[in-house]
Amino acid sequence: MASPDKRDLLGACLWAGATVAAVAVSDNMLLRAVLGVPMALLISGHAALRAIGVRTTSRLEQLAYSIGASLAVTIAGGFVLNAVGALTPLGWAFWYLAVATGAMLLPASGSDVSPPRASLGPLRIRPWQAAAVALAMLVATGAYALAIHDQAVERQFRYTEFWMLPPGKGDPGQLVVGVRSAEAEAHQYDLEITLDGKPFAVFRSLTIAPGDTWVRKVPVPILADQQKAEARLYRPADNKLYRRVSALVPGT
């Protein structure tokens, strides 16, 4: 049975456990929000404040401190979960459960609400308050730097470049067709070229590894009138059109 001064922490643990169970067995967004939002914005911060023995002078001050501490707990959780590759709803639920459980297991640090004072007097900043502000600024700055770094290096969209250049003055009668892979793994492609809608050239089973470029010059006849050349790139796995480009072949 929990001691009277730890009943709130026991309640936080039970709430966090219910959140873990809800996330693990259900995809219901309303249920997850009802359990997870209070955990993320209030309960986790209250547990953290109780764990380090922070005292406040009123319930309103305790509420404000709890919300701020919850944001700090959430930011710290983002660092930890990103490091272990667990940035998932279940990972977040276990993070808040760990925070609540850790606060519960720490020795009791007394009541977190001190009797209200008759007069606040001059504004004073205690050492632990200055340390908390400095830590919050450090964590927020680190989170911003990490987000900027991830945005710079992350390649969320993998794709294949496909182009066709018309004959130039220095190389008349030559279409230039190119494929460059920026995919995560090697793929096979089929390439078909038409002139004015009629089949002209076909290249089958082009295997292109990530980062490789395939380029081919295709001779085309030069007629009196200009012609429209079109190239289509297919993936044999599903035989669906993947890319399509076109160019004009000038006449004589």
**Kind and range of the H or E run holding 16:** helix 7-25
Assessment of whether the complete model's pTM goes beyond 0.75: no
Q: Cβ distance 9 to 104 under 8 Å?
A: yes
Q: Give pLDDT tens digits along the chain (252 positions).
A: 455 567 888 888 999 899 989 888 888 888 888 888 889 888 998 888 888 887 777 888 888 888 888 888 988 888 888 888 888 888 888 999 999 998 888 875 544 444 444 344 454 556 766 676 666 666 666 665 665 555 555 555 567 899 999 887 767 788 999 999 988 888 899 999 999 999 999 999 999 998 899 999 999 888 888 899 999 999 888 888 889 999 988 887
Q: What is the pLDDT of residue 136?
A: 63
Q: What is the pLDDT of residue 116?
A: 43
Q: Residue ranges per domain, the chain? A: 4-114+126-153, 160-249
Helix 89-105 / helix 7-25 crossing angle, nearest 10 deg: 160
- Write the single-letter amino acid at 186: A
Can you tell me which residue has the tokens 């190119």? 178
Q: What is the pLDDT of residue 114?
A: 46
Q: What is the pLDDT of residue 148?
A: 56
pLDDT tens string 131-186: 766 666 666 666 656 655 555 555 555 678 999 998 877 677 889 999 999 888 88
- Which of 25, 29, 43 lies closest to 95 in space, CA to CA? 43
- Write the single-letter amino acid at 64: A
Q: What is the pLDDT of residue 203?
A: 94
Q: How far is CA 54 from CA 64, 112, 190, in A?
A: 13, 6, 67
Q: Name the superfamily (CATH) of residues 160-249.
A: Immunoglobulins (2.60.40.10)
- Write the single-letter amino acid at 140: A
